Amino acid sequence: MGAGEFSGKFAKTVDSFARQSFDPTNLNRLAEDAFLWIVGLMAAFLAVHFVFFALSGLKGAHSEEGMSLENAQFKRRSTAKIVYHWVNFAAIALLLVTGLLIFYGDPDTAGLFEWHLWGAWIFLGALAFHIWNDTIRFKHFHRMLFTGQDLSDAMARILPGGGGGEQKHPFYKVEQIAYHWILAAVVLGLVITGFTLWEPARIYVGAIWMPWGWDGVFFARVLHQIFTFLLLAMILGHVYFAVAVPKNWYVLKSIFTGRMSLSSYVKQHQGSPEFESRVKDLEAGQEQSAPAGE
């Protein structure tokens, strides 16, 4: 193994300034245990959810027969958002595959790290575009915020006897907004710890790890791995709720076509007053085309 390559496991380094108190073997075990616990618990949660909630909705899932708006289509996602989603998916897949191979000690670590680095740059570039497109270009940042009333409505929609599907929500559900913020925190943790591990960028986050010497770098790798496992668990959850929960299938279609059934959308979402007015006109047969996206 050449100089500078990483075998997937920790090893003590020799440096005059380094203070090393952590046992690398224990750190390896901590990361491996975290992988099993995080992914295992998420898989168990999804299995229980599927048995008790998703299976019951498989018969005639999300039928739209008899709805007055069944032929109308609503543009939920722009082409730019669809492209971003799939570029982001490819980058994260590359990062996860190469990262896990490095973690488990693949012999071609140097080559894998180059691919891992490319995946990181593609992911960060796509993320920067996403933030610019949604918050600066279209000013949709308010969709990522929720009020106390939104939270109360969500609890009424989720809890037994609280109204269930009768409760509508804005563009995103409260749980979707919470998911985005947790995901943002996990990604931020991955970026900071990733910079700590990448020698050319390590100095830029030096204030975080330097007080602990090389212990800080060792522990950053453990945190990087734990954040990775959290990201993997969140992706499992995201895919599960999109694919295995029938009531969400109308949303799943929109990530390929950009459009969804307007009848499905208005059953669950609150729109702007202008949007709601145009929907009522469409229901009354006064318009022949669906309203554009909000």
Say if residue 128's pLDDT is above 90: yes
Query: Across-strand partners of 73?
Result: 261
State the average pLDDT over residues 124-152: 83
Residue of higher predicted confidence among 60 and 157:
157
Tokens of 52: 């008790």
Q: pTM here?
A: 0.74
3-state helix, strand, coil in the chain (%, to 5): 70, 5, 30
Task: Note the pLDDT tens digit of each residue in 89-108.
Answer: 999 999 999 998 888 877 87
- The predicted pLDDT at position 1 comes to 44
Q: Are 246 and 57 in contact (CB under 8 A)?
A: yes
- The predicted pLDDT at position 192 comes to 92
Task: Note the pLDDT tens digit of each residue in 12-48.
Answer: 444 444 445 556 566 677 788 888 889 899 999 988 8
d(CA 205, CA 203): 5
Say if residue 231's pLDDT is above 70: yes
Residue of higher predicted confidence among 294 and 215:
215
- The answer for residues whose C-beta is within 8 angstroms of residue 165's C-beta and 6 or more apart is 157, 267, 268
- For the chain, list the strands marked E by DSSP: 73-75, 259-261
Could you give the 3-state DSSP secondary structure of residue 198?
Answer: coil
State the average pLDDT over residues 211-240: 88
- The predicted pLDDT at position 110 comes to 79
Lowest mean pLDDT among 138-152, 201-215, 233-247, 260-274: 260-274
Task: Note the pLDDT tens digit of each residue in 32-89.
Answer: 888 888 989 999 998 888 887 777 665 544 433 333 455 677 777 888 889 999 999 9
- Grade residue 233 by pLDDT with cuts at 50, 70 and 90: very high
- The predicted pLDDT at position 271 comes to 63
d(CA 58, CA 247): 9
d(CA 21, CA 44): 36
Residue of higher predicted confidence among 230 and 250:
230
d(CA 265, CA 220): 43
- The predicted pLDDT at position 97 comes to 92
Q: Are 258 and 76 in contact (CB under 8 A)?
A: yes
Say if residue 2's pLDDT is above 50: no
Highest-confidence segment of 79-88, 194-203, 212-221, 276-285: 79-88
Task: Note the pLDDT tens digit of each residue in 186-198.
Answer: 999 999 999 888 8
Domains assigned to the chain: 24-47+79-249 (1.20.950.20)
Q: Are 220 and 209 in contact (CB under 8 A)?
A: yes
- The predicted pLDDT at position 5 comes to 44
Q: Are 102 and 70 in contact (CB under 8 A)?
A: no
